[in-house]
Structure 1
């Protein structure tokens, strides 16, 4: 195996920070494969080109070269002596979209399994899928199903005598929970499944219990029914926390015992409450510990309210306002914010640097923490509390007469207006291909990523969830602001989205914008023009972002609002040549072109590039389009998002040309008929072939 491919492949399992990348662990996998390969060759071939390439990889990427090699030499000799570690785990966290999906659960578990596999069998299963589906298979919409196939291969392998999987806080898996539960159930029904053991923890959720309670293999343990054991574990945790505090604070035996007693009485068997209470004790002297603890109420909701009130009591008016802005921004945000993004979204003073922001976040540390320069909630319960505190004492979301999202929209568009410009990354060449973009080229605009992606989301929230008549002025004011922004910076905004890798999202954002304005207005006609512009030009813009200022505008209809507004963006040589008088007057009947090359690796050539289309079908709800190529060499079915034109899935099981396709009335299933004499039905969400009707030759 190519070392660089292995590193890329295994790192892709660590996209979420749930499993932090240990570069030595990854290179250890590569080294094992190379050692095994060299041992199978003749002695004079031991130092082969692949080994040399791996050493070059180390030279180029690891600044700790010498230490890395020493460590690798030592650890590689020890590694084969280890026993296979068959216990793997994952902790879901709803407040972070890197840790709250079914795909993230399987990625992390697979990552740990691969690291513990001394025979390197599992990495080969992963590479089979990687080679078959391409380098984006672990990050695209099919990631969960790709990982699921890898796991079923692992479950049938005899390398592990037993496998133990622990998934904590299952209720905080907000993306793909149903698919994950189905996967767990299927794994337990496999032949030889007695070696597979799942430990799942969750809050009391009827939907989770319903899906698992009917299974014969399930053994349900209720914390409420096992209170004695839970109390014993809580008391152990209390003792550990106080012992740690006592070493730093030098508590007397009497103070130690009093703290222990108060914590046991008020904790209500809640580990998080103990953790937060001990954080408060860490702030004060030993002489103030008892009094501080007595002021903390029992129960998480009451605790959070007291901490919110405490922010106002113990800070200056200026710091209290900064804390309010931080808590409001993090609560309303779609995803966790980096420190650099926080300046924009929370409206913090521009002179605050990242260190200042970390200090400010620490003043809210009963609610927030900073990890790897990203601001996160300490727990889902903190977010739940703040979500319901819109009219609390701190006035978290500002005056009740204003829509809380309006300020975020205005901050986003103000900053984007100030910083966006033509060719913001100095690519210079109009034909620059997006595949040649390197991360370093967009570092200076990363702080704009949230604003670019999500200001539309916040715009749709303006006026939502407020009282009757409240927020109407905000909506009108926001629409005026948005109209002004788009008429000046539309092309700049689209360029930035393409550079951030979100070209397929542009049409979805524009469609969402269309829903925010009334019909038959100047703004509605402008947004319609934008949508047609994107649908026509998405293919070229997605690959060559600077073409948005030249060919995309040049070949837009003469009556296009965009063509008129942004005619000045055309390069001088195009203006000199002229010729727009030959362009058609208005948008034609063609709405959108679906191109397969938008999905696949740019170095690959799709079947559709060499042949026509044999059959298509459109779902009844207008969400999906299915197509199959007119080629004897391809039997795949492509499922498209009908709005954005991006490929969602490729279905492969037929061995002959697919001649007919049809969606079910509910859109949940697709039927296909092929020259291989079979008819198959597919689950659209999972991509699984559910039924096979085989005819005769």
Structure 2
């Protein structure tokens, strides 16, 4: 006879007994924990943390650099509901991102808790936040975090699909419907939706712009601000009676005045730190005012370089900074070529230009061929990155480009010597380093969890983290193979084929364990599907095709178990896949 016992507390549960002498226990998670799981899976990034990072990277938000827009006629018309969408457009380095940071602060100060202010910062250099799906996930995440009742719109689909709802091939369509349902929710307060750098949305930009145009027309009580470069295709899709453009080039006087205030702020700070004389300080100010061309980024890069120069050399070096971003980048790459560590600098710049997201120091060392004494010395490595200072910066042990235009310069100017063999050869090199890093790092029960059913949410990374050097490699190794030029040869070369086969034979299950720990199993599924697609129809050996097909099917079939517990499938996989 079966018996049923109910439990109260943070977990509700039902215990059913007498099943061939065994007791079957099933715990049903509380509504709170299910909501938390949904939020955790929805989140790709916290836009508020992104805003803080961007402001810190740029030395803080200066009110004098953005306050002009508050008196702008088009901005005030938008505030007074004469338009539903405001499009702030301008060339690279004109301060669009910091302008939006300032607007977010002003709207927050003005409305407090009486309005929703949801925002997202696109970044082309980071694959996690450079696509339309990520934008919607970020906006929805901000809205439901502030108003938990809105989560019901997400949960209605999430309860059936789980995390795959946000990541599979239909994610954009599903999220669009959820987002639309939220916008028309009668309980939603006044809402401001702000997206910075939509031109850096490298996947799904057209769909995103169409959604913005439609939503701003259909739901006029929800107001939008977007920023971008002066791209005709963006103008085409946003050109309607609902969109008011603010061109930074047409507001040159206001922008120039803001840049002038920014220059004085930066130079006076430099003068205090470097102990400049009044004459040196004023000379630097005049030079920057004469050559900035209304570009915040140019000023920031010059001041950054001056900060590394002794004060008695400041005036002598000042004339070496040419006006214009591209001219400045040209000078900086010459500086890299002339340094004693030119080869290491070029290797780092090449890798940073190719990787799909910013990388940490440990990851960089695993992806770049560097002298042994350099790769093991984090202080020396920081000094090398400082030589690349006008292209790269470091924030919380993570290396990032100072601006999207810096990466574009390196990729565009092939004569700069950063890619002697071309970008495809660089992808091939990174692919090889990724496999090497995973072979060196991955092992069974890498976190010493020991218990096969131990839940992923309770896993605490040890310190130091044994996965630190291989995090990037685990997620992106197939992407680099895909872009390594293999398709022109119509097949993998013997070395690539051998490495892929050996990896699947010896490290595949350890890779799945690592993906579970990293919360990146969906990327692993996408990687295996991509690898399977690459090999099909290209004359690859049948044995390798079967191996990849079986591995791809295994990760998809066992996804729930692998995601919930990193060690759950090891034994079954070793038997089913014949893995060592």
TM-score normalised by structure 1 residue count: 0.60
Return closer, same or farther for 1:366/1:188 CA change in 2, 3 Å cut-off. same
Q: Give the superposition deviation at 1:258.
A: 2.5
Give the corresponding residue for 1:367. Answer: 391
The answer to whether residue 386 in structure 2 is matched with residue 386 in structure 1 is no
Taking a change above 3 Å as real, the CA distance of residues 106 and 239 of structure 1, as seen in their structure-2 partners, is farther
Closer/same/farther in 2, CA of residues 138 and 84 from structure 1, 3 Å limit: farther
Which consecutive residues of structure 2, in runs of 5 or more, have no partner in the other structure? 1-29, 52-108
Offset at 1:364?
1.8
Deviations 1:230-289 (A, max 9, x none): 222222222222222223234444333332222222222221111111111222233332
> What is the CA distance between 1:98 and its match in structure 2?
3.7
Offset at 1:203?
0.8
2:121 to 76, 91, 101: 91
Equivalent residue for 2:304, pick from 279, 291, 294: 279
**Residues 447 and 462, structure 2, Cα contact 8 Å, conserved in 1:** yes
Deviation at 1:378, TM superposition (A): 1.0
Q: 1:176 aligns with which of 198, 204, 208?
A: 204
Is the Cα–Cα contact under 8 Å of residues 96 and 336 in structure 1 kept in the other structure? yes
- 1:152/1:513 CA distance change after superposition, 3 Å: closer
Segment drifting more, 304-313 vs 182-191: 182-191
The Cα of 1:89 is off from its aligned counterpart by: 4.0
Greater mean alpha carbon deviation, residues 136-145 or residues 169-178? 136-145
Q: Which residue is equivalent to 2:252?
A: 227
Q: What is the alpha-carbon distance in structure 1 between the residues aligned to residue 185 and residue 424 of structure 2?
A: 58
1:334-349 equivalent positions in 2, closer than 5 A: 334-348=356-370
Contact 2:125 2:356 in 1 (8 A): no
Alignment of 1:242-641 (within 5 A): 242-313=267-338, 315-316=339-340, 319-348=341-370, 352=376, 354-392=378-416, 395-398=417-420, 403-428=425-450, 432=453, 438-440=459-461, 443-463=465-485, 475-497=493-515, 499-503=517-521, 508-510=526-528, 512-513=530-531, 524-534=541-551, 537-538=554-555, 541-542=558-559, 543=561, 550-552=571-573, 554=575, 563=578, 566=579, 569=580
Any idea what SS the aligned residue of 2:369 has?
coil
CA positional deviation for 1:406: 2.9
Contact 1:330/1:336, CA 8 A, preserved across alignment: yes
Per the alignment, do residues 338 and 17 of structure 1 end up closer, same or farther by CA in structure 2, a change over 3 Å counting? farther
Correspondent of 1:19 among 36, 39, 48: 48
Q: Is the 8 A contact 1:14 1:21 kept in 2?
A: no
Could you tell me how far 1:304 is from its partner in structure 2? 1.2
Distance in 1 of aligned mates of 2:523 and 2:131: 20
Q: CA–CA distance in 2 between the matches of 1:342 and 1:260? A: 37
In the TM superposition, what are the counterparts of 1:101-112 in structure 2 within 5 Å? 101-109=131-139
Higher RCO (CA < 8 A, seq sep 6+): 2
TM-aligned CA deviation for residue 514 of structure 1: 5.4
Number of aligned positions between the proteins: 482
Where does the alignment leave 5 or more consecutive residues of structure 1 unmatched? 23-78, 556-561, 570-697
**Which secondary structure does the structure 2 equivalent of 1:440 belong to?**
coil
Q: TM-score, normalised by structure 2?
A: 0.70
Q: CA deviation at 1:385?
A: 1.0
Relative to structure 1, is the Cα distance of residues 82 and 168 closer, same or farther in structure 2, using a 3 angstrom cutoff? closer
Q: CA RMSD in A?
A: 4.1
Match of residue 186, structure 1, among 214, 222, 226:
214
| TM-aligned CA deviation for residue 295 of structure 1 | 0.3
Deviation at 1:529, TM superposition (A): 1.6
Contact between 2:424 and 2:483, CA under 8 Å: does it hold in 1? no
Equivalent in the alignment of 2:261: 236
Whole-Å Cα distance in 2 between the matches of residues 410 and 4 of structure 1? 41
CA contact (8 A) 1:510 1:527 kept: no
Q: Does 1:208 align with 2:230?
A: no
Give the number of the structure whose residues are more often helix, by fraction. Answer: 2
1: CA distance, partners of 2:443 / 2:557: 20
Q: Which digits, 9 at most, give the CA deviation of each residue in 1:360-401, with x for residues without a partner?
A: 323322111222332211111011111124442xx3235569
CA distance in 1, matches of 2:158, 2:151: 11
Change in Cα spacing, 1:520 to 1:464, as seen in structure 2 (3 Å) is: closer
Between 1:529-538 and 1:229-238, the stretch displaced more is: 529-538
Distance 1:143 1:435, change over 3 A: farther
Residues 108-123 of structure 1 mapped to structure 2, 5 A cutoff? 108-109=138-139, 122-123=147-148
User: Aligned partners of 2:288, 2:500: CA distance in 1, in Å?
Assistant: 52
CA shift for structure 1 position 124: 1.1
CA drift of 1:482 comes to: 3.8
The answer (yes or no) to whether the contact 1:90–1:167 under 8 Å persists in 2 is: yes
Change (3 A) 1:239 1:145: farther
Structure 2 residue aligned with 1:579: none
Deviation at 1:477, TM superposition (A): 3.9
| 1:378–1:155 CA distance, 2 compared to 1 (3 A) | farther
The structure with the larger Rg is 1
1:103 to 1:326, Cα distance in 2 relative to 1, 3 A: same
Cα gap change, 1:259/1:411 in structure 2, threshold over 3 Å: closer, same or farther? same
1:105 CA drift (Å):
3.8
The 3 A distance-change label for structure 1 pair 244 and 426 is closer
Task: Tell me by how many angstroms 1:170 deviates.
Answer: 1.8
Partner residue of 1:130? Answer: 155
**In 1, Cα distance between the equivalents of 2:442 and 2:118?**
45
Cα distance change, pair 3–358 in 1 and its aligned pair in 2 (3 A): farther
2:529–2:552 contact (8 Å) kept in structure 1: no
